[in-house]
């Protein structure tokens, strides 16, 4: 009998979980959408491994708690983000486009 913990993959479940730690690039921006919803966005710069090129990842904070946490961050702060990968569609003058971003469920200064 195996004592190895079962994972979601073992159970055949789909999983969309993201855990990132990196440096905030620029100050977070608060936006009010035409719908009246509030949103705070920022970019997180992280590397896959030491010495490798970095990735710059857009992070969106929709919940009140995540928005408050994001507003306490500043350019250059280290942050830890937990959430899910989302694909967002929108229109520009050049046509319809999409972008991937991380929707933060929890975040904190690291």
The two tokens of residue 18 are: 């993201």
What percentage of residues in the chain have a pLDDT greater than 90?
Answer: 74
User: Could you give the number of structural domains in the chain?
Assistant: 1
Question: Does 54 fall in a domain?
Answer: yes
DSSP 39-106: EEEEEEEEESSTTSPEEEEEEEE-SHHHHHHHHT--TT-EEEEEEEEEEEEEEETTEEEEEEEEEEEE
pLDDT score recorded for residue 9:
67
**pLDDT band at residue 2 using 50, 70 and 90 as cut-offs:** low
Residue 72 included in any domain: yes
State what percent of residues in the chain have pLDDT above 70: 92
In a domain, 12, yes or no: no
Residue 38 lies in a domain: yes
- Structural domain contains residue 4: no
Domain range enclosing 87: 18-109
Q: Is residue 6 part of a domain?
A: no
Tens digits of residue pLDDT in 42-93: 999 999 888 889 999 999 999 999 999 999 999 999 999 999 999 999 888 9
For residue 100, the domain's CATH number is 2.40.50.140
């Amino acid at each position: 009998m195996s004592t190895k913990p079962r994972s979601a993959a073992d159970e055949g479940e789909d999983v969309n979980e993201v855990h990132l730690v990196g440096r905030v690039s620029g100050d977070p921006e608060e936006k009010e959408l035409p719908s009246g919803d509030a949103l705070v966005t920022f970019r997180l710069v992280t590397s896959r491994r030491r010495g490798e090129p970095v990735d710059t990842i857009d992070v969106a904070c929709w919940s009140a708690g995540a928005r408050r946490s994001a507003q306490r961050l500043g350019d250059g702060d280290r942050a830890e983000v937990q959430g899910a990968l989302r694909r967002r569609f929108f229109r520009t003058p050049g046509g319809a486009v999409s972008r991937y971003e991380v929707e933060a469920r929890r975040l904190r200064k690291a």
